[in-house]
Amino acid sequence: MTKSSILGYPRIGDNREWKKALEAFWAGKIEESEFQSRMQDIRLNHLRKLQEKGIELIPVNDFSYYDHVLDTAAMFGIVPKRFPYDGGPVPLSVYYGIARGTTDAAASEMTKWFNTNYHYIVPELDGAEPAVTENKPLAAYREAKERLGIEGKPVILGPLTFLKLSKGYDESETDAWLERLVPLYAQILRELALEGAEWVQIDEPILVTGLSDADIRRLHSIYGTFAAEAPTLNIMLQTYFEAVESYSDIVSLPVKGIGLDFVHGYAGNIRLIQASGFPQDKVLGAGVVDGRGIWKASLREKAALLEKLQSFVPADRIIVQSSCSLLHVPVTVSSETKLLPELKGALAFADEKLDELVLLTKAVSSGTDAIGKELDECDLAIRALERSKERNRNDVQQAVAAISKQDAKRSLPFAERHAVQQKKWQLPVLPTTTIGSFPQSVEVRKARQLWRKGEWSGEQYAGFIREQIDTWIGLQEEIGLDVLVHGEFERTDMVEFFGEKLAGFAFTQYGWVQSYGSRCVKPPIIFGDVAFEKPMTVEETQYAQSKTSRPVKGMLTGPITIMNWSFVREDISREQIAYQLAYALRQEVEALEKAGIGMIQVDEPAVREGLPLKEKDQAEYLAWAVKAFRLTTCTVQDTTQIHTHMCYCEFHDMIDSISAMDADVISIETSRSHGELIHSFEENTYGLGIGLGVYDIHSPRVPGVEEMTGMIDRALRVLDPKLFWINPDCGLKTRGMEETVASLRNMVEATKIAREKYAVQV
């Protein structure tokens, strides 16, 4: 009998109850017992919803108190040496210390989960002595069964993926580490089997990336051990985000099921099955509903796909499921009351995807006639959006077609621009700046709410924003920063702010998605053709510049980041969406320059997260991503200095593309992985202006002068002091005022020390 399933469900709750509980606990407003009680209520409510919706194979242990990768590390007692830990279950104080840092210890590195906007905490294996501290999947399985009568499907991050995502070991130690980890996994699985669990989902998304012969050998060893240790347990080896690599080896592993992504990996996976078939002794987890996108699935097309798959796999050996965890989409469309009807009708968030899966499972079991009405309603909803005027703007389409043919180059090469910019700005050696945003206090958020509710007039709100700018321009001057920013107090989010002012965007009221920890974002929806309507940032930036003789940077979010941090339409290519955004943002850059703003920062922190997982597809993406940035910035004068900001990436993978963006100055978020990036510069040259973040803004701790001096010294061993800038590693929006000022004072003091040391070299 065909069953329905998902790979995971959003943690945050319908109204972000999860986020609120975390932050109340961190702030000391609730005790641990109440916190645990709230977490359980949220967890059980999720399971109850899945049960009531009719999902038959319900995941458990997909819930987390912060991050599922951190959960896996904690389950095995893998705690960095700088945190106090003597074995046994990891206390919440240590768990959250690893994630967020403490007064005495820096947080672990945080980075993107494959090519998504979700961030995971990178496990640190150096010096760890792994052991099973608690069987979390077993506890989750018991809870679901005892409290709700659910025969759950425990979800576990697989050992090869866990190890590949970790740091603190040499690649030559891979087999030795697997020899330590695999018996611990086997213990987890044995205990689940003894408890009576039928299925367990082991996530190995690393299998959609390139696999070496050694990795294939390791997989056979790992899953051979699991089959021997827990022979009665049905293992669903789950992949997602792309087509699987080394298909014939993967499907020959001794597991009961193989989960494949037939959305983002459709072309590759369907080709593999058509060419090689599918094993007769295995169940296919058919990921046909998009776990990452928000658009209503074409039920007719998905039913046809499932029918195609049945020519290779009998219906009773198919599980109809999401392509990946629904962690990446909002909870429900039902709460949205302000969207255009044709847009709302074409959306499906997590709860609506559950309904789609149940309907598609019914179609497999009983034929498409059994869901004929729903098929027709779905077709009508999709066509209504396709025909909307927002998707058919000839003016935008023609203009973008024209500029996309341009070469998009600045009039002078960087070396010549740098000389004229230095003559204009007269900046000191090792100039200091920040990334853009300053703390959004309770007062700032309250003012925005009063304005949005209509209790404040636009002029009242604008006056309040000007007061905030006055305060922080004064503070920046007093601290001693060289290049200032206005602080972005009028902006809720670096993407949402621009989307609200551009045509082609829509915004949900409750469409929150977890980004990292308790940080939830509400991604805009790019549903139509994107167009510039009027200046978006000129007023506040021009006002800030009027209050100081020092340069104030204009602050924009770049086209690739806006695209990658939004839910985007699927009827045109991402490249075309990027060029539409670039054309709109170019008009804003030109408006800033016309208003007298001579430094303009176009942030692109999300370039790398859009990088395709398949190496063969990466060059094409990087080419048009770089072109989109250059289309945005190429029309400015030679004296106008273009800055950009990027989050840490494997720098050696992208150094040519980053250089090709031709920004005058790039700042890079590096503080949690500073050493690795410096190592990249030892192997690669970079000849443009650059600032490596010298302290971590994701942690509330105030770093000392000596700590930042060490960061600067390491960077200047391999980078030219004449081109080096000093800055925090990201925006300061989420930090408090006191810690921000203290950290920036220390940064400026560290800069003074560095200037004395390196001035003779310049």
- The domains located in the chain, with CATH, are 52-386 (3.20.20.210), 402-407+415-761 (3.20.20.210)
Cα gap 358→348, rounded to integer Å:
14
421 vs 127, residue with greater confidence: 421
Q: Is 650 helix (H, G, I), strand (E, B) or coil?
A: coil
Query: How would you classify residue 487: left for phi > 0, otherwise alpha for psi between -120 and 50, otherwise beta?
Result: left
pLDDT (average), residues 228-257: 97
The rounded distance, in Å, linking the Cα atoms of 606 and 565 is 8
Beta-sheet strands, E only, within 648-719: 665-669, 689-693
Is 199 known as a binding-site position?
no
Residue 43, burial from CB neighbour count under 10 angstroms (0-12, 13-18, 19+): buried
More confident residue, 144 or 718: 144
75 three-class SS: helix
Distance CA 648, CA 669 (A): 5
Among 46, 486, 674, 698, the one annotated catalytic: 698
Q: Per-residue pLDDT tens for 195-228?
A: 999 999 999 999 999 899 999 999 999 999 999 9
- Is 409 annotated to bind a ligand? Reply is no
- pLDDT confidence of residue 153: 98
Average pLDDT over residues 247-255: 97
pTM of the model: 0.91
CB-CB contact of 634 with 408 (8 Å) = yes
Residue 323 assigned to a binding site: no
Q: Is 603 annotated as a binding residue?
A: yes
Instruction: Consult the annotation and say whether 16 binds a ligand.
Output: yes
Interval 398-423: pLDDT, tens: 999 999 988 899 999 999 999 999 99
Place of tokens 């510069």: 681
Query: What SS3 class is residue 15?
Result: coil
Whether the CB-CB separation of 291 and 255 falls below 8 Å is answered with no
Name the H helices within 430-505: 442-452, 458-479, 496-499
Residue 382 in this model has a pLDDT that exceeds 80: yes
| Secondary structure in 3-state letters for 332-372 | CCCCCCCCCHHHHCCECCHHHHHHHHHHHHHHHHHCHHHHH
Average pLDDT estimate for 523-534: 97
Q: Average pLDDT for residues 53-69, to the nearest whole number? A: 98
Higher pLDDT, 522 or 669: 522
| Percent with pLDDT over 90 in the chain | 85
- Check pLDDT > 70 for residue 651: no
What pLDDT, on a 0 to 100 scale, did the predictor assign at position 210?
A: 87
Q: Is residue 674 a known part of a binding site?
A: no
H/E element, 203: strand 199-203
**Quick count: other Cβ atoms within 10 Å of Cβ 104?**
10
Rounded average pLDDT over 500-523: 95
Asked whether the beta carbons of 558 and 603 are under 8 A apart, the reply is yes
Average pLDDT over residues 677-701: 78
Task: Name the 3-class secondary structure at 762.
Answer: coil
Nearest Cα to Cα of residue 429 among 756, 695, 705: 756
Confidence band for 718, pLDDT divided at 50, 70 and 90: confident
Secondary structure (H, E, C), 95-163:
HHHHHHCCCCCCCCCEEECCCCCCEEECCECCCCCCCCCCCHHHHHHHHHHHHHCCCCEEEEECHHHHH
Question: What tokens were used for 150?
Answer: 């659910």
Confidence class for position 331, pLDDT limits 50, 70, 90: very high
488 annotated to bind ligand: yes
**What is the rounded distance in angstroms from the CA atom of residue 422 to the CA atom of residue 641?**
10
User: Has 264 been labeled as part of a binding site?
Assistant: no
pLDDT at res. 701: 82
755 is in an annotated binding site: no
Joined together, the tokens standing for residue 612 give 């395709």
pLDDT score, position 652: 66
Residue 130 has pLDDT above 50, yes or no: yes
Query: What's the pLDDT at 762?
Result: 44
The pLDDT > 70 percentage for the chain reads 97
Quick one: average pLDDT of 120-148?
A: 97
Q: What is the pLDDT of residue 677?
A: 67
Q: Evaluate whether 5 touches 153 at the Cβ level (below 8 Å).
A: yes
Catalytic residue list contains 698:
yes
pLDDT in tens, 85-115: 999 999 999 999 999 999 999 999 998 899 9
Mean pLDDT of 268-275: 98
CA separation for the pair 10, 64 (Å, rounded): 10
What is the distance between the alpha carbons of residues 410 and 634, in angstroms, rounded to a whole number? 5
Q: Return the DSSP state at 243.
A: P
Handedness of CA 565, 571, 575, 579 (dihedral sign): negative
Q: Is 410 among the annotated ligand-binding positions? A: no
Q: 350-366 and 32-53 are packed helices; what angle lies between their axes, rounded to 10 degrees?
A: 30
Q: What share of the chain is helix, strand, coil (3-state, %, to 5)?
A: 50, 15, 40
Angle between helices 136-148 and 32-53 (to 10 degrees): 60
Nearest to 242, CA basis, from 749, 617, 673, 666: 617
Question: DSSP code of 25?
Answer: H
Report the alpha-carbon distance of residue 312 to residue 334 in Å, rounded: 37
State the DSSP H helix or E strand holding residue 679, giving kind and residue range, or none if neither: helix 674-683
Average pLDDT value for the chain: 94
Distance CA 569, CA 576 (A): 11
Collapsing DSSP to helix, strand or coil, 387 comes out as: coil
3-state secondary structure 557-621: ECHHHHHHCCEECCCCCHHHHHHHHHHHHHHHHHHHHHCCCCEEEEECCCCHHHCCCCHHHHHHH
